[in-house]
Amino acid sequence: RETPLNDEQLEYISHALNAGGGLLTIISDILDFSKIEADKLELIPQPCQIAALLSELTQLFKLRVEEKSIQFDSHIDSSVPEWIQLDGQRLRQVLLNLIGNAVKFTDYGRVSVLVTSTDQTLSFEVKDTGSGIPQSEQAKVFSEFATIDSQARLHPQEGTGLGLAISRKLITLMGGEIGFTSEEGVGTSFRFTLPLEIAEAQPPADTQHNLSLKGTVLVVDDSATNRLVAKTMLDNAGVDVICACSGEEAIDLYAGNKVDLILMDISMPGMSGVETFQYLKSSTGWRETPVIAFTAYAQLEDKQRFSREGMQGHLEKPLDKTVLLQTVSPYLMPSSELAPVSYDAEPVEEQVDLLNVDKLDQLARDTSEDVLPELVAVFQTDARTRLEALEATDIDMDETRRHLHTLGSSGALYGLSVLSERARFLERCCLDNKDVSEELADFVELAAASLDNLSNHMIDRAG
């Protein structure tokens, strides 16, 4: 979306991007539920434009409602402020679940979304004319792993049964309440309220995405593919980038270069990111340089620890270009010109089970189509080396965890969502001191098949 597109192309690309985002949200259900139950899920309130969010969801469900020949409409009352301060991703997750259920169980009529507000409250209603929920089933609607009786709803049971349970917990976490009314054969209405906090208007997203900056950033990461992706995204924004593959190399490069900002990977072999930061702070050449933690995922206590250490923030892998530029921009100088964009790829039709092409296309937009083959080649080499290491009989749990950590974060960036989720699951098992030796063989086989699919796709893409 960084080059001019006609309306039809833009619509197709928007569908692909939004569908990919929705898929990742669904995959995260079980992880989110675990975090909520352990009191580990952290809300990230940011300015959110409700109209843009509903427009995105309308696009996402457009094809499904057309296939079912039902109507879908949304209305925002004039009382609702344009910008609201809340966790937009979690609100999107709740609405995605409620609207998805409404569309799924409505074969005739319509699904509608209404947003209203008072001075202190923001209210949402998702209403459908579907099959309704039987009275005997209503008590368990918000229960964990619960699915409504398939015969009563005239649809097969699908999903984890966690969607509504997570939605209620998220709304409660945001300080709100949710409830519903339903009549079998007539329809269902879910309603929830949230505290209203007005936010300042934000600049257009495209302006943030194409932001051009001046300055020097030291990127420290033991993964070659992570370094290359971060460097390419920052290069395209006009930033000078120095890369280090270890804490020791970072210390040497910092001493010999003027650096405006450091992106510090936390989980590195040998000297960790925190240890590297502590060493730099204690050295005579320390220049109070801002440091951003760079990690595949972090629990609330981890982020608090980074803050206590003196780090200015954190970035999660896989990198999103807009989030990256928003995070680094306060520490760099703005440039008067927008960064050039070289993406000019042909639409890619292929979609395979182990490869989410939407994510790969997003990486091409965030870097460029020309550099994508190089990025993939570096990732493939690094990933296959790590898989060979995982097959070694003498590998210890700490080294296993480190390889799984890198494969999990890098795999997601290149659209290998199944590989990524499995790697992160096994990594968490290692963190809990659970033996994963028996599962590693299946994981290596899955990862090899995923990498082969990626290779085949790149061959087709080049043709």
Task: Note the pLDDT tens digit of each residue in 411-451.
Answer: 888 888 888 878 887 887 888 788 888 888 888 988 999 99
The dotted CATH code for 207-334 is 3.40.50.2300
CA dist 9 and 298 (Å) reads 36
The pLDDT value recorded for residue 146 is 52
The burial class, CB within 10 Å (0-12 / 13-18 / 19+), for 262 is: buried
The pLDDT value recorded for residue 185 is 87
**pTM higher than 0.95:** no
User: Which of 239, 212, 204 shows the shortest CA–CA distance to 335?
Assistant: 212
CA dist 337 and 259 (Å) reads 22
CA dist 379 and 364 (Å) reads 14
Is the Cβ–Cβ distance between 378 and 412 less than 8 Å? no
User: Which residues have a Cβ under 8 Å from the Cβ of 250 and sit 6 or more positions away?
Assistant: 218, 220, 244, 262, 264, 276, 280
The pLDDT value recorded for residue 350 is 36
Q: Is 185 helix (H, G, I), strand (E, B) or coil?
A: coil
Say yes or no to pLDDT of 89 above 70: yes
Say yes or no to pLDDT of 223 above 90: no
**Cβ count near 87 (within 10 Å):** 20
Helix (H) or strand (E) holding 85: strand 83-86
**Confidence band, pLDDT 50/70/90 cuts, at residue 154:** very low
CA dist 139 and 237 (Å) reads 53
Is the Cβ–Cβ distance between 76 and 51 less than 8 Å? yes
Between residues 127 and 336, which one has the greater pLDDT? 127
Task: Note the pLDDT tens digit of each residue in 310-367.
Answer: 888 888 877 778 788 888 887 887 664 433 333 333 333 333 368 888 888 878 887 7
Domain residue extents for the chain: 7-195, 207-334, 357-462
CA dist 187 and 423 (Å) reads 41
The dotted CATH code for 7-195 is 3.30.565.10
- Give bridge partners of residue 258 from the DSSP assignment: none
